Amino acid sequence: MTTLYIAMEDALLVAQEQKGRWQLELRLDGLPTYCIAQDPHRAGRMYCGTFGKGLWRSDDFGETWQPAGEGIPYAEVMSVAISPIERVGKYGLLWVGTEPSALFRSEDGGESWQELRALQDIPSKPIWSFPPRPYTHHVRWIEPDPVEPGRLFLAIEQGGVMRTLDGGQTWEDHKPGAQFDGHTLRTHKKAPGRVYEAAGGDGLILGKDEKGRQYPVLTRGGYAESRDGGATWQTQTEGLEQHHYLWGLAVDPGDPDTIVASAAIGPNQAHFPAFAESFLYRRTTGTPWQMVTEGLPEPRGTGACVLATNEHRPGTFYAASGRGIYRSVDTGVTWQQLDLRIPERFRWQRVFGFVIGEA
């Protein structure tokens, strides 16, 4: 049974597939859900971060939820992740990132927390800033390494990609070649040392729509990779010349060279209904990024989707936006909308988190 968990602006959508039919239920209804993770070491254990209401946890595959244990002083939980290879007792090593930017670690399933305060000593921290709320910034993504214990990557929005090799006791600052406005990070257990980054790009100019409203357009960057565990990075945007603002990113579980990303010309087109126009791009071995369209909705009126895969289904990708959930079973070349009736209230909502579980 496949289950999709999709964090929306005011609820968690839970969609289950049984015998080819989909059923949709709402969980944490009314809460601004922002991130979601499932513990690979303990069946049924899940975590959901909310903006303003802290971290929640479930022991029954998301059927019921309770607040996590105390110890995180910030209510804006922006990212949550569990190490695929490190565990303490019956729980996976758990990480939570907040706004303002802080990182917390739990070894007991979220009952108690330790702040990794060395993150506050990174030299570039004084220039971190999130444009919609320029007085602050946050840990947008946490990516534990799937091969190397203690190695962890953070995307700070906006501040860049940070790396630790000792479980957060010390940190390395943002490196040249990595993107500054990090949105999504990925790693791959079949490609040790490889790190993928989808980001906001740079080279800002201003565009103007037919009503005279100005909007930001990114003209460079948007995607970067590391092949040596985050020590060095290379920007790789051949084929993305029109769309340098990347939001969602997923990698084929069976092939670390097949990547799908969602993209737009800027944040307005990615996230706001009045400007919405986003696209999907795909890249595989030896090819530049290429736009894919077959089976997908019209870009105009579509916000940037979040992408997800499941390691048990190589070649299969899922893409979620307020317009619906789409699936590709041919490594992202063609897509088909799932037969899911998403309530109209979610039509213009942003998707922040998306994971796939199987039981």
> In the chain, what are the domains?
2-358 (2.130.10.10)
Q: pLDDT, tens digit, for every residue of 277-287? A: 999 999 999 89
Counting as low any pLDDT under 50, the low residues of the chain are none
Q: Which pLDDT score, from 0 to 100, does residue 210 have?
A: 80
Burial of 193 (0-12, 13-18, 19+ CB in 10 A): middle
Q: What is the dihedral of CA 152, 317, 60, 54, to 10 degrees?
A: 50
Q: Which pLDDT score, from 0 to 100, does residue 18 have?
A: 83
Q: Which pLDDT score, from 0 to 100, does residue 359 have?
A: 57
Q: Model pTM greater than 0.85?
A: yes
Q: Which pLDDT score, from 0 to 100, does residue 231 have?
A: 97
- 18 Cβ contact partners less than 8 Å away, ≥ 6 residues apart: 1
Q: Which pLDDT score, from 0 to 100, does residue 213 have?
A: 86
Q: Which pLDDT score, from 0 to 100, does residue 20 have?
A: 81
